[in-house]
């Protein structure tokens, strides 16, 4: 049996939209992108969504918007030490310094007890990543942020469909960054979305994704051929608003073909989400069969884990290594991914920041001893049982 890590759903409605876009000749950002933004905002229960070219760009722009609110290059952003490298990369791309905080081994997420010690007079934001779709402790994080006047951005790349105390991921901070990469529940092949209830922030984000230009309307009629924009020459001096740049920006727009694929996923989102929830729910319910050598995250009564993937973590007493376990899974058709790394101490790209091995023991442990497998919509309970049974048979051969 094959259990691939990821998949992408390209619906018939997506194919029709792609054909329509191709026939129209309008392939850059247009009405399909705007429709995706409106529907994604509704999915997260927020007022605004801004579509961009990747999840990394979504987080970068959400942080870069702080420059409009007084932040300066080199100011600090608190980040969990364990995450996909894009989390740390985005802080640097936004011209800030990442300040890493260790995670909790049982949740995979930033340890709220350690955040406050990392706050300095130059701290401007906290990034709360919902790793593997498990919501971070947002009440604690928001309390700390409010006490210190900090901006909270959810890294919700893996948290499609996650709920925290009845509220959806994407509505729990000042802004949230989602990835629409191929492995995610809502995919545009590539792409990302920033969600927020802050109208002014949404306006800044629309500018940032287009090189920082002054053109920042939610409904930009410049995108419709032949319809002149009434604001086009309103700038002081009468220059074209499309070529006036009040802030440093990025080239991060989503195109119509990507939006067409994303809209197709939204058309069947309930079915995709239900299958993923069924798969991860079954796997979590069976995981006790693998104790004490293997463990995973737990879904608490106040949360719903976004069904992105199933983490598998080796206990300290496991008499085998991750490579051996991954090899057995792969030999039995189960595709695996490592559970990321401690960015500051296990990713050489971040070495210039001066952290040393041992500074983040929990993140480093997970970076050495964790992996994850898929739970996506093209799988079913029999695939999850194959994963659990393969792991159980492997453990039977161990002392």
Catalytic residues: 184
Torsion sign (Cα): 212, 216, 219, 221: negative
- How far is 76 from 164, CA to CA, in rounded Å? 27
- How far is 73 from 225, CA to CA, in rounded Å? 38
DSSP strand pairing (151-155 vs 82-83): unpaired
**Residues 200, 203, 209: CA angle, nearest 5 degrees:** 140
Q: Which two tokens stand for residue 335?
A: 């595709």
Are 156 and 178 within 8 A, CB to CB? Answer: yes
**Residues 70, 192, 116: CA angle, nearest 5 degrees:** 45
For residue 123, the cross-strand partners are 76
Distances (CA, A) of 70 to 123, 124, 150: 12, 9, 12
For 45: left if phi > 0, alpha if psi spans -120 to 50, otherwise beta; the answer is left
CA 37 to chain centre: 16
- How far is 262 from 277, CA to CA, in rounded Å? 20
Q: 297-318: string of b/e by CB count within 10 Å (b at 16+)?
A: beeeeebbbbbbbbbbbbeeeb
- How far is 99 from 295, CA to CA, in rounded Å? 29
Closest to 173 measured CA to CA, from 112, 208, 128: 128
């Amino acid at each position: 049996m094959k259990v691939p890590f990821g998949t992408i759903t390209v619906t018939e409605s997506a194919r029709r939209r792609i054909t329509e876009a191709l026939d129209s000749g309008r392939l850059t950002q247009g009405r399909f992108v705007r429709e995706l933004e409106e529907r994604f905002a509704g999915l997260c229960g927020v007022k605004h969504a801004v579509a961009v070219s990747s999840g990394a760009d979504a987080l970068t722009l959400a942080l870069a918007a702080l420059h409009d609110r007084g932040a300066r290059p080199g100011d600090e952003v608190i980040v969990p030490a364990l995450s996909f490298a894009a989390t740390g990369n985005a802080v640097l791309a936004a011209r800030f310094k990442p300040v890493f905080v260790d995670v909790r081994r049982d949740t995979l997420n930033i340890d709220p007890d350690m955040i406050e010690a990392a706050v300095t007079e130059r701290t401007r934001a906290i990034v709360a990543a919902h790793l593997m779709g498990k919501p971070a402790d947002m009440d604690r994080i928001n309390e700390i942020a409010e006490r210190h006047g900090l901006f909270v951005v959810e890294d919700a790349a893996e948290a499609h469909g996650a709920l925290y105390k009845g509220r959806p991921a994407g509505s729990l901070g000042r802004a949230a960054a989602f990835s629409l990469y191929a492995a995610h529940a809502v995919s545009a092949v590539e792409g990302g979305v920033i969600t927020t209830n802050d109208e002014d922030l949404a306006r800044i984000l629309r500018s940032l994704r287009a090189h920082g230009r002054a053109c920042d309307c939610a409904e930009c009629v410049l995108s419709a051929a032949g319809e002149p924009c009434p604001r086009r020459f309103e700038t002081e001096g009468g220059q074209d608003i499309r070529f006036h740049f009040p802030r440093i920006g990025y080239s991060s727009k989503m195109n119509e073909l990507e939006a067409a694929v994303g809209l197709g996923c939204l058309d069947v989102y309930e079915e995709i989400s239900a299958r993923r929830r069924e798969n991860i729910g079954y796997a979590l319910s069976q995981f006790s069969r693998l104790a004490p050598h293997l463990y995973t995250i737990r879904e608490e009564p106040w949360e719903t884990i976004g069904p992105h993937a199933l983490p598998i973590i080796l206990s300290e007493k496991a008499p085998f290594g991750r490579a051996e376990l991954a090899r057995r899974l792969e030999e039995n058709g189960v595709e695996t991914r490592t559970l990321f790394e401690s960015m500051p101490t296990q990713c050489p790209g971040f070495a210039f920041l001066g952290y040393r091995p041992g500074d983040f023991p929990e993140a480093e442990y997970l970076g050495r001893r964790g992996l994850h497998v898929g739970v996506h919509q093209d799988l079913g309970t029999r695939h999850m049982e194959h994963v659990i049974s393969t792991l159980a048979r492997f453990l039977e051969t161990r002392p």
